[in-house]
């Protein structure tokens, strides 16, 4: 097969774990994948596809991830430090039997990413960083439960923010929603990025190119890379079972980013103008998608 994965006989047990015979299970599905590959399409390897047991595991992980973000939402405001947010996420996650995925990931020192104003992503929480009226902050939360990964992020506006920042936060969320609307089983991943980009661009914003969404489930970052500067009809086929995040970073100013912070993590806009990001995790289904974490 195209993915160098199992090539099964009709009466063999299917690769998907259903216990059924291949001919009664994924044989037609595999033929469709193989034909798409031969037609020149990018077809995700079957080992990336999540079957019902794995989806159920991710749902349990995502329930903790969403709960942690809801907990942050209920307490965040002026006078809170990003160090407080880190402790809330850490303690909530651990109390629910899970592990914060960022903690120790490639040396990341905290349990959550907190990115204020011109910080694009990967901001490191600190007790010295006080949130003040007018700030916008992305809280990016990721959870491991029983080996299953979930990942989502939200923007929070601290007190009254300027209309410009409010619009950036709102349009970025709308762009993500346009991306979700473009998810069609057997469609293309590039449709998603194109929809996100078009909406951001229509408001005069730019989209960060260097970072994007990613496959996820049994690992924090799996294939495919989910870019938000894509052309419709390009990229991987959205095969049912493909699980990934949609997480555009939208800049008020230029798209260029600055990755030179000495801490090795904090990414800023080059022009120091504000930036926003929302992130959801989905799995493609036979008739659309299931939202797992938001």
Q: Which residues bind ligand MF3 (CB under 6 A)?
A: 102, 105-106, 108, 113, 122, 140, 142, 151, 214, 247, 279
Instruction: Report how far residue 8's alpha carbon sits from residue 17's, in angstroms, rounded to the nearest whole number.
Output: 13
Q: Which does 82 bind (CB under 5 to 8 A by kind): ligand MF3, Co ion, none?
A: none
Q: How many CB atoms lie within 10 A of CB 126?
A: 14
Based on CB atoms, which residue is closest to Co ion, 226 or 252?
A: 226
Which region among 22-30, 100-108, 111-119, 151-159 touches Co ion (by CB under 5 A)?
Answer: 151-159
Least Cβ distance, residue 74 to ligand MF3 (angstroms): 21
User: Max Cα separation, the chain?
Assistant: 65
Instruction: Report how far residue 83's alpha carbon sits from residue 231's, in angstroms, rounded to the nearest whole number.
Output: 40
For 163, counting Cβ atoms within 10 Å of its Cβ (0-12 exposed, 13-18 middle, 19+ buried), the class is exposed
Based on CB atoms, which residue is closest to ligand MF3, 46 or 138?
A: 138
Least Cβ distance, residue 143 to ligand MF3 (angstroms): 10
Q: From its phi and psi, is residue 260 left (phi > 0), alpha (psi between -120 and 50) or beta?
A: alpha
In this structure, what are the phi and psi dihedrals at residue 206, rounded to the nearest 5 degrees?
A: -120, 160
DSSP string, 230-279: --TT-SBB--TT-EEEE--EEESS-S-EE---TTS--EEETT---EEE-B
Instruction: Report how far residue 7's alpha carbon sits from residue 4's, in angstroms, rounded to the nearest whole number.
Output: 8
Q: Quick check: 143 binds Co ion (CB under 5 A)?
A: no
Least Cβ distance, residue 147 to ligand MF3 (angstroms): 17
Least Cβ distance, residue 208 to ligand MF3 (angstroms): 12
Based on CB atoms, which residue is closest to ligand MF3, 102 or 235?
A: 102
Q: Tell me, what DSSP letter sits at residue 111? A: S
Least Cβ distance, residue 151 to Co ion (angstroms): 4
Residues 244-283 that bind Co ion (CB under 5 A): 245
Look up residue 255 and give its two tokens: 């798209």
Q: Find where tokens 């939202």 sit.
A: 291
Based on CB atoms, which residue is closest to ligand MF3, 135 or 222?
A: 222
Based on CB atoms, which residue is closest to ligand MF3, 16 or 226?
A: 226
Based on CB atoms, which residue is closest to Co ion, 150 or 230?
A: 150
Based on CB atoms, which residue is closest to ligand MF3, 57 or 125?
A: 125
Residues 218-247 that bind Co ion (CB under 5 A): 245
Look up residue 101 and give its two tokens: 């995925």
Based on CB atoms, which residue is closest to Co ion, 206 or 245?
A: 245
Distance (Å) of CA 17 to CA 12, 121, 218, 240: 12, 37, 16, 16
Q: Which does 275 bind (CB under 5 to 8 A by kind): ligand MF3, Co ion, none?
A: none
Q: Which does 140 bind (CB under 5 to 8 A by kind): ligand MF3, Co ion, none?
A: ligand MF3
Least Cβ distance, residue 121 to Co ion (angstroms): 9
Beta bridge pairs of residue 114: 139
**Contact with Co ion (CB under 5 A): which of 117, 151, 191, 236?**
151
Residue 193 CA, chain-centre distance (Å), reads 13
Q: Which does 117 bind (CB under 5 to 8 A by kind): Co ion, ligand MF3, none?
A: none
Residues at the interface with Co ion (CB under 5 A): 151, 245
């Amino acid at each position: 097969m195209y993915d160098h994965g199992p090539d099964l006989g009709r009466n063999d047990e299917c690769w998907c774990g259903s216990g059924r015979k291949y001919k009664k299970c994924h044989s037609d599905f595999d033929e469709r994948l193989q034909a798409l590959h031969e037609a020149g399409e990018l077809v995700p390897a079957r080992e990336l596809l999540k079957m019902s047991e794995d989806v159920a595991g991710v749902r349990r992980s995502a329930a903790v991830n969403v709960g942690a973000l809801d907990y942050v939402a209920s307490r965040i405001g002026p006078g809170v430090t990003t160090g407080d947010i880190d402790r809330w996420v850490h303690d909530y996650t651990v109390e629910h039997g899970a592990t914060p995925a960022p903690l120790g990931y490639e040396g990341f020192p905290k349990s959550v990413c907190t990115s204020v104003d011109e910080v694009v992503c990967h901001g490191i929480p600190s007790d010295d960083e006080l949130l003040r009226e007018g700030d916008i902050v992305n809280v990016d939360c990721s959870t491991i439960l029983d080996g299953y990964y979930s990942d989502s992020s939200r923007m929070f506006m601290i007190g009254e923010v300027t209309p410009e920042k409010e619009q950036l936060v709102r349009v970025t969320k709308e762009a993500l929603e346009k991306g979700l609307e473009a998810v069609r089983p057997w469609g293309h991943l590039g449709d998603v990025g194109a929809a996100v980009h078009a909406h951001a661009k229509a408001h005069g914003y730019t989209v960060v190119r260097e970072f994007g969404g990613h496959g996820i489930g049994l690992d924090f970052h799996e294939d495919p890379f989910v870019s938000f500067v894509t052309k419709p009809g390009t990229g991987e086929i959205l095969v049912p079972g493909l699980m990934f995040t949609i997480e555009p970073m939208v800049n008020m100013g230029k798209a260029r980013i600055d990755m030179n912070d000495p801490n090795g993590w904090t990414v800023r806009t080059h022009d120091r103008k504000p930036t926003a990001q929302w992130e959801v995790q989905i799995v493609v289904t036979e008739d659309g998608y299931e939202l797992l974490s938001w």
